[in-house]
Chain A
């Protein structure tokens, strides 16, 4: 085992900030390459004629998931040292729904709105301002939501633990599901192609 490098003490906190900056450049670069600096392109996901959001997201998920899985199988990465954020089921359901509303109303999510703002989209900049206000509202009303926020705590549980299936089998099933989703996306884009608005 030699990875994650940071957890094995190969470099310190200050260097990790440089790693963060470079990682972010890669993240932002590929988001923009996919077309995610455009609110119209992102919102198209919810009208069926362009399912780029689904395709990019699931390609990224299976790439990272397969890579991490094989690197852990050959003993290069210690999977137990990769941080899995803990599950709080009810607040995550509520937060997910709110986020979905915000996505189709505003046209972005936080990461994509950064890319939109840096490529000149005024709506992306306004959206970022909205996020800041939303976080401020949450912070200021924290005492009201604190109990709910900390409810249904389940720890860092994963699908293999919950289902009792092996990690490898779940990885395989997720890949199958994604491939099925990609085929469905191709079909759906044809079915709803007539909805695609004129450019301009």
Chain B
């Protein structure tokens, strides 16, 4: 009896300690299997994979449409995301999935004591410069993901698992592009 209660106390104090300090990340293989099973479930339940950038395209198309409906009417790219008007363009699978990504990321972060208002950067770059790079990188990512018809989630991960030729080509180009530029970005990260 006393042994059990003393274990209890130790357990509790460990937990309290864990909350003060962020927990280490999972092994990449454990997290990868978790991610792979989520993707597999999406295939089995929905017959489709994961995505991310598409949700933001729905958001942009909806926003532009609200401001200038005649403008989006003449643009076939926005039209694809706005649909025929039979349902709201934000009532979309990827939009709801990405809302879940925000929630799931927050849940995991808060449980591990990793939610923190901060800026991710190396020590040799100012916050203002880092945020400028973040914004510029985001713009390139947005354009690239639209040109490629998907991002790391929809193309590399989903299309990769489905052995799509375009997705594998895309994946090689993502790594190639990033490695080609990494040397010039070293002061931001190292």
Residue ranges of A at the interface with B (Cβ–Cβ < 8 Å): 3-7, 16-35, 37-41, 43-47, 52, 55-65, 67-68, 71, 76-77, 81-89, 91-124, 126-139, 142-143, 145-146, 149, 154, 156-162, 167, 170-171, 174, 195, 197-198, 200
With A29-B108, A61-B160 already in contact, the answer to whether A102 and B32 are too (CB < 8 A) is no
Chain B residue nearest in CB terms to A152: B166
Cβ–Cβ contact A120 & B104, under 8 A? no
Number of A-B contacts (CB under 8 A): 542
Cβ–Cβ contact A132 & B60, under 8 A? yes
Chain B residues numbered 52-89 whose CB sits less than 8 Å from any CB in chain A: 52-53, 56-57, 59-61, 64, 75-78
B3-11, B12-20, B170-178 - the one binding chain A: B170-178
Contact sample, A vs B, 11 pairs, CB 8 Å cutoff: A20-B94, A21-B103, A24-B101, A33-B26, A47-B186, A63-B36, A84-B159, A85-B154, A130-B138, A139-B60, A158-B162
Cβ–Cβ contact A85 & B149, under 8 A? yes
Could you tell me the dominant secondary structure of chain A's interface residues? helix
Residue ranges of B at the interface with A (Cβ–Cβ < 8 Å): 25-26, 28-50, 52-53, 56-57, 59-61, 64, 75-78, 91, 93-109, 112, 114-123, 130-131, 133-182, 185-186, 188-190
Nearest CB in chain B: distance from A144 CB, A: 11
A151 to B123, CA, bound (A): 43
Choose among A21, A83, A87, A119 the residue with the greatest number of B CB atoms under 10 Å from its CB: A119
